[in-house]
Amino acid sequence: MPERTCLGCRSVLPKSALVRLALDGEGRLRADSSGRLGGRGAYICPDKGCLAAALKKNAFQRALRSATHAGAPEALWEEIRGAAACISGRGR
């Protein structure tokens, strides 16, 4: 099973346990539950603390090698929660 590193806590976990984030066409950071958004992806645990840590250290900009527009952290957190629910609902 493929493994990825969470940008917030730096834990190495199975890819299926993490939420992929990528940039949309307008350069905004989006949760990508389908894994089909183009370009580089960054992975994060579905944990609010991990999101806060990743935002604080600009980890998304480094991982995606691009300036990111995360928008409001609460809105991004809701997207991550929704994507995590979608992923866990698939039974992976």
> Which domains are delineated in the chain?
3-89 (3.30.1230.10)
- Whether 91 shows a pLDDT value over 60: the answer reads no
- Whether 90 shows a pLDDT value over 70: the answer reads no
* Beta-bridge mates of residue 30: 22
pLDDT at position 27 is: 84
pLDDT digits (tens, 9 = 90+) for 71-85: 788 899 999 999 988
Taking CA atoms, 33 is separated from 56, 57, 83, in Å, by: 23, 24, 5
Look up the pTM and report it.
0.87
pLDDT digits (tens, 9 = 90+) for 1-50: 899 999 999 999 999 999 999 998 888 899 998 888 888 999 999 999 99
